[in-house]
Amino acid sequence: MSQPHVVPPPEPGAGPVDPEEELTRLLRDLRTRPEGLTGREAARRLVIAGPNELVRTPGPPWWSQLVAQLVHPLALLLWLAAVLAWVAGTPPLAVAIVAVILLNALFAFFQERHAERAVEALSEYLPPHATVLRDGRPVRVEARELVPGDVIVVGEGDRVSADTRLLSGSVEVDLSALNGESLPVRRAPGGASDVPLLEATDLLFTGTSCTAGECRAVVFATGMRTELGRIAALSQRVEHVPSPLEVQVLHVARLIAVVAVAMGAGFLVVGTLLTGLSLADTLSFAIGLLVANVPEGLLPTITLALAVGVRLLAREGALVKRLSAVETLGSTSVICTDKTGTLTLNRMRGMRLWTGGSEYDAGSPPALPGGRLATAMSCCHNVSVDPDHPDDQDAWVGDPTELALVRLATALGPPEQSWQRVTQFHFDPTLRRMSTLDRSGDRLVLHTKGAPEELLPLCTRVAAADGTDAPMTGRDRTDLDALVRRWAADGLRVLAVADRPVGSVTGPGERAETERDLALVGLVGMVDPPRPEVPAAVARCHDAGIRLLVVTGDHELTARRVAEQVGIGAGGLRVVGGHQLDAMPEQELDALLEAEGEIVFARSSPEAKMRIADALQEQGHVVAMTGDGVNDAPALRRADIGVAMGLSGTDVAREAATMVLTDDNFATVVSAVSEGRRVYDNVRKFIVYIFAHATPEVVPFLVYAFAGGAVPLPLTVMQILAIDLGTETLPALALGREPAEPGLMERPPRDRSAGVIDGPMLARAWGLLGGVSAVLVTALFFATLLAGGWSPGADVGSGAMHEVWRQATTMTFLGIVACQVGTAIAARTTRASLATIGFATNRLLLWGILFELVFAAAVVTLPPLQVVFGTARPEAWQVAALLPLPVLVWGADELWRGSQRRRERVGAVAGRPGADRAAVGRSG
């Protein structure tokens, strides 16, 4: 025999526990019983043993994160600029650039920490839960409250929250979290004890999940004393994986940096050869171009915008696990949703009843005390009833379908005998039925319920009103079929209920052998009303060009009716049955999915979800897929956005999903898509804003360079720094918080392959906004020079002309600031007019602009800053000349957007709404 595996004592003073010792000894060592602990004892142990939590391994220290910000490629470029400035004999400039690098790194560092915390905080919204016996009763507690000695109940889809030894029942578990092995293994009490701990067949470990079955197990280790805790190197930190958006922007930023370097180097040549400037002058000038073009704050600002999106989504009931999911959500083009609980309320109520050959209204059921239907319904379920208040139906906990059946059974009248469960065959979503084997005295009866299509073929007899069985004839089958279809067409979920006396107990492996030769005892039709908010959410999807597919386990007609009730398939609805889909070749499925209209996939299996997701993705769609069961996990992983249900979903599905809905509501998926679109739009808005300054900063330089010495330098490098890293920062951040633009959910989804930065957007930023600004500030520069008596070629190096030149560069600086105010207001919308969104709807931006103005005023009026930035106090007429600038820049853009909207309307009238709207939606 191998060494016993000894787990450290659960509490000080107690002896070590060997989880594989004989069960009674283990229970004694843990000072517990198969009925578990009392609530008071558990509370006491919690204080001593501490919460059942894994201590997180710390990530890299804060300073290493900060250093990383100092050495990323764009920062290295700035370091290069600083060195060049030093070499060129302009130490103040070098110092200024180093200051910029440091400030920039700090800014990025704090933004990223902020973003990380936003994602980490999500785990607090969704604490794992466990069902534990306390005072002999199953209660649901947070997993952190489990203590050694607790007896927990583990069911299908649950994540195991502590290291435990099985007491009763049997389960299949997925150990992949511990050993990477993805095939589920069976665990049951008993078994050899001389195997490695992880292979013991009667132990369950933290982090594994139950894929089938149900069991009770006693906790022998919690928190860091568990196997998972011991392998504590398993870091649980949320890693920041750059989102596709960030990667794209990084590429563009690098490209721009290369262009900036090329421009700087080019200017070095042009400047020295053509204009006869000194090398030092051209060098500092080239540095200016470089600094002007490098989009320093862009990446951290995007990360922050995504993190803010994550937090807002959490408030709306959608917990997103990855930052990048926010942007993917925005491009969702197909939502595959299940029906029960997502489109409907998942509040089942029995409506109709068929038994003994007659149909009844379930509201006034026949009194059938001891009837076989009532007996079967009250035996075949996993609803838990509070033993102290068995009649309090509101306190019953369980699957809504089963709750409805148990309530109906109670209304029909209590069974004559009391029944004890011997074993059960769990509800299997592929077989669509469940059975229990129950004993009453020496009678052993199998009770089965499930989808009629699955159960009726297994029935050979029908129970008559007097309780006797008659053979099921072909005629019976036709009539029953018609009845099921009639009820389903009214939107009812129909379940068939059957029984069979059994000779002897069979093992769980013999399901097919046991579930046969059944007698049908009744049919039940249940209603599950649609959620009131769903029709509006469906309409929003349709406006937004998002297609909806219902993938449900329910009957075709039931699913069709519910889909129609909420407006799915208003423009054509096709219903595909499970068998039909299974037999469908891939090309046919592709053709079906490519065709117009919406589809209900009824009686579908979890595997079907995978097929559908795959086919849609291959067609270039971005697919959001909802699911709640264990078997849904692969499809949830496969979809672009796997959406699990927080309330009714299993732990396994929640883990596989990218997004968890805390309210299980379809409408929340749609809100999340809208939030994703908003965040993506806002990222584009601040890119437009940040890029727009490049033209007015570069053009004056080019004028200077190509004037061959006749025109003095219109803007100093220090002034460029004051704009890029001073005045402009807060408005850019504020644009990331812009509210959703009208029409956000009325345009088609973004093309999966469309870049965040595209031609039209650059044309708007550099050409329109930047171009107008460049003309205006250059005019202002010349106007100031000419008003001061300057003539081309005049020496501005000293004397009165030097003062005039300082004023002129100050006006270029202030002109760019004023134009950027106009740009910020223009960039707030991509298509809509300012009037439709309202001037004051982004308060943060107004504060940002105020900061910008105060900062600029300080730079030109405070003497120490005047020295640093080479500025002069402007005169009154010059300040007055700045006032129209924001209006002119914004006005030009407003006119352009107006013309775009007109074109779009014309396009819509011409019958090409999609194409044109898509183009406009993409243009910056």
Ligand X SMILES: Nc1ncnc2c1ncn2[C@@H]1O[C@H](COP(=O)(O)OP(=O)(O)OP(=O)(O)O)[C@@H](O)[C@H]1O
Q: Which residues bind ligand X (CB under 6 A)?
A: 338-341, 399, 401-402, 427, 429, 432-434, 449-451, 493, 495, 552-554
Q: Give whichever of 156 and 338 is closer to ligand X, judged by the CB atom.
A: 338
Which is catalytic among the residues 158, 338, 438, 628?
Answer: 338
Residue nearest to ligand X (CB): 553
Other Cβ atoms closer than 10 A to 585: 8
Q: How far is the CB of 548 from ligand X (least distance, A)?
A: 13
β-strand 641-645 against 137-142: which pairing, if any? unpaired
Q: How far is the CB of 495 from ligand X (least distance, A)?
A: 5
Q: How far is the CB of 432 from ligand X (least distance, A)?
A: 4
Q: Give whichever of 150 and 554 is closer to ligand X, judged by the CB atom.
A: 554
Q: Give whichever of 36 and 553 is closer to ligand X, judged by the CB atom.
A: 553
β-strand 547-551 against 598-601: which pairing, if any? parallel
Q: How far is the CB of 433 from ligand X (least distance, A)?
A: 5
d(CA 378, CA 320): 40
The two structure tokens encoding residue 48: 């001593």
d(CA 686, CA 682): 6
Q: Give whichever of 210 and 711 is closer to ligand X, judged by the CB atom.
A: 210
Closest CA to 563 of 554, 136, 6, 754: 554
Q: Give whichever of 623 and 801 is closer to ligand X, judged by the CB atom.
A: 623
- Could you tell me which residues are beta bridge partners of residue 163? 221
The two structure tokens encoding residue 329: 């959500």
Closest CA to 859 of 704, 703, 724, 701: 724
Q: How far is the CB of 589 from ligand X (least distance, A)?
A: 19
**What is the 3 state secondary structure string of 839-907?**
CCCCHHHHHHHHHHHHHHHHHHHCHHHHHHHCCCCCCHHHHHHHCHHHHHHHHHHHHHHHHHHHHHHHH
Phi, psi of 137, rounded to the nearest 5 degrees? -120, 140
**Cα angle at 419 between 418 and 423, to 5 degrees?**
170
d(CA 755, CA 823): 22
How far CA 843 is from CA of 307, 817, 839, in Å, comes to 20, 19, 9
Type of residue found at 280: A
Other Cβ atoms closer than 10 A to 713: 22
Q: How far is the CB of 338 from ligand X (least distance, A)?
A: 3
- Could you tell me which residues are beta bridge partners of residue 437? 423, 446
Is 727 strand, coil or helix?
Answer: helix
**Cα angle at 763 between 759 and 767, to 5 degrees?**
160
Phi, psi of 220, rounded to the nearest 5 degrees? -115, -15
The two structure tokens encoding residue 205: 């470990």
Q: Give whichever of 206 and 631 is closer to ligand X, judged by the CB atom.
A: 631
Q: How far is the CB of 241 from ligand X (least distance, A)?
A: 31
Q: Give whichever of 176 and 382 is closer to ligand X, judged by the CB atom.
A: 382
The two structure tokens encoding residue 49: 């043993």
β-strand 443-450 against 334-337: which pairing, if any? unpaired
The distance of Cα 776 from the centroid of its chain, to the nearest Å, equals 44
Active site residue 338: yes
Q: How far is the CB of 429 from ligand X (least distance, A)?
A: 4
Q: How far is the CB of 557 from ligand X (least distance, A)?
A: 11
**What is the 3 state secondary structure string of 65-119?**
HHHHHHCCHHHHHHHHHHHHHHHCCCHHHHHHHHHHHHHHHHHHHHHHHHHHHHH
Q: Give whichever of 205 and 425 is closer to ligand X, judged by the CB atom.
A: 425
Q: Give whichever of 112 and 402 is closer to ligand X, judged by the CB atom.
A: 402
d(CA 698, CA 700): 6
Q: Give whichever of 428 and 543 is closer to ligand X, judged by the CB atom.
A: 428
Q: How far is the CB of 398 from ligand X (least distance, A)?
A: 9
How far CA 180 is from CA of 128, 141, 175, 239, 285, in Å, comes to 21, 28, 7, 20, 58
- Could you tell me which residues are beta bridge partners of residue 433? 428, 450
Q: Which residues are identified as catalytic?
A: 338
